[in-house]
Amino acid sequence: MQHILDAILAGDTATEDFANLDLPESYKAVTVHKDEVGMFEGLDSKEKDPRKSLHVEDVALPELGPGEAYVAVMASAINYNTVWTSIFEPVSTFGFLERYGRLSELTKRHDLPYHVVGSDLSGVVLKTGAGVTKWKAGDRVVAHCLSVEMESADGHNDSMLDPEQRIWGFETNFGGLAEVALVKSNQLMPKPEHLTWEEAASPGLVNSTAYRQLVSKNGGQMKQGDNVLIWGASGGLGGFATQYALNGGATPVCVVSNEEKAAIARSMGAELIINRSEEAYKFWNDEGTAQDPKEWKRFGAKIRELTGGEDIDIVFEHPGRETFGASVYVTRKGGTITTCASTSGYMHEYDNRYLWMNLKRIISSHFANYRESWEANRLIAQGKIHPTLSRTYTLDQVGQAALDVHHNKHQGKVGVLALSPEEGLGVLNHELREKHLTKINAFRGI
Ligand code: NAP
């Protein structure tokens, strides 16, 4: 791989030279193994240790199909989906690979006894498959993680509705936590040139998800003046939701669990912050069998205290079972709860009287379509939304990085260097970077 890295670091390698580089037969990748899916049986979720299930090993370069591209990965990032994959919850991702493998001769490649994980990347195109015209070897890119076949009319207005919709590196193989990745070329987008490789790789999945969930007409359709309740406001999704609220003239009400995270929310410009640990909300009884509406009310009173008596227009939901009852309760009459996840449990309970009598709506959201992903990346490239990178690991340390995210010991996004030998490389637009440096560094506590 050294000759590929040398060509990238040289900075002036011509397209033809990139196209002529020898491709490796194998490359280093982070994997889980099919014969280990039962390794954590009987353990509680939090005891399942990604360091035991995530391997770093050489895997064979897969065949390049039509409409696809190999990318030399300079950097990637940890998403919660890698945590789910590594603890084999709620299901093992090998089921996804088997199903994808049954689709066609070409997709059979994905059904292997190992799964190369990771749904973000920044890097350089090495080679494109038949029919690719927009991208060429040498292009500096990031990739979004929507993999769709687009053969069914169902997805023609909104590519997330394609019946063969998958998240690359989670429901497909050959993901971004590796030295080389295989993507569909229409996942590729220009790398924001004022960012380092690791900064540019980090927004992808969560930025696009937050954009659809909160801003898009397919999600919350947030407007100026809305009060937006954001759970985990300095986490992966929440760090972008907070920025979208501020950027779009709304008022974020940020929920966080400690003062460090509160300080990050403030540094983004948020003013209304609830420290859920300090307030010690107890929405559920100890057995986890019943909720306490008095606690919902106490939470709602805190929100009104901060907003000057107003309720929430949109709740940005993802913790799930633990918070969903409270989220439905504190939404204003006619307001919206948008949900994209259930980190604390997917069997939600809420009091439906508060929903229907007050004409509230629950909107489900999942990743983002091609267009939404492009728009979300464009906002990063313009310096209107910023990466939320707090720390960077190497490929060999991915198990530890995933454990930190699993145990909620991180802030914002956790980056991973793949081919890039060090942090800080890859910036071409220094003027734009200088202009936004404070915000780019906000999550690093610099
Ligand atoms: P993250 O970086 O871990 O951030 C989530 C934040 O939520 C945590 O930092 C924590 O913040 C807060 N939180 C966690 N458990 C909570 C609880 N029980 N009650 C209240 N707050 C809680 O993760 P993420 O990347 O934002 O992802 C969050 C979830 O969304 C994951 O389940 C992930 O798989 C899912 N997701 C779905 C999609 C999709 O397309 N459907 C896309 C991205 C992520 P505090 O401790 O500061 O409160």
Mean pLDDT of 94-102: 98
Q: Is the pLDDT of residue 260 over 70?
A: yes
Identify the residue whose C-alpha is closest to ligand 1 atom 20. Answer: 319
Q: Where are the domains of the chain?
A: 2-206+368-443, 220-364
Ligand 1 center to 393 CA (angstroms): 20
Separation between Cα atoms, residue 327 and residue 324, nearest integer Å: 5
pLDDT at 14: 86
Q: Can you read off the two tokens belonging to residue 241?
A: 């939701």
pLDDT digits (tens, 9 = 90+) for 150-167: 999 999 999 999 999 999
Task: Answer with the residue of higher pLDDT: 15 or 254.
Answer: 254
- Give 247's pLDDT tier (boundaries 50, 70, 90): very high
Does residue 232 have its Cβ closer than 6 Å to ligand 1? yes
Mean confidence (pLDDT) of the chain: 96
Domain 2-206+368-443: CATH superfamily is: Medium-chain alcohol dehydrogenases, catalytic domain (3.90.180.10)
pLDDT digits (tens, 9 = 90+) for 22-71: 999 999 999 999 999 999 999 999 999 999 999 999 999 999 999 999 99
pLDDT at 444: 86
- Give 176's pLDDT tier (boundaries 50, 70, 90): very high
pLDDT at 16: 87
Q: Which atom of ligand 1 is nearest to the CA of 256?
A: 47
Q: Is the pLDDT of residue 123 over 70?
A: yes
- Give 12's pLDDT tier (boundaries 50, 70, 90): confident
Q: Is the pLDDT of residue 445 over 80?
A: no
Ligand 1 center to 22 CA (angstroms): 41
Does residue 275 have its Cβ closer than 6 Å to ligand 1? no
Q: Is the pLDDT of residue 304 over 90?
A: yes
Mean pLDDT of 296-308: 98
pLDDT at 11: 85
Ligand 1 center to 179 CA (angstroms): 27
Domain 220-364: CATH superfamily is: NAD(P)-binding Rossmann-like Domain (3.40.50.720)
Does residue 236 have its Cβ closer than 6 Å to ligand 1? yes
Q: For the CA atoms of 415, 421, 422, 427, what is the dihedral angle to 10 degrees? A: -90
pLDDT digits (tens, 9 = 90+) for 330-342: 999 999 999 999 9
pLDDT at 192: 98
Q: Is the pLDDT of residue 446 over 60?
A: no
Choosing from 120, 237, 296, 443 the residue with most ligand 1 atoms within 8 A of its CB, the one to mutate for a pocket test is: 237
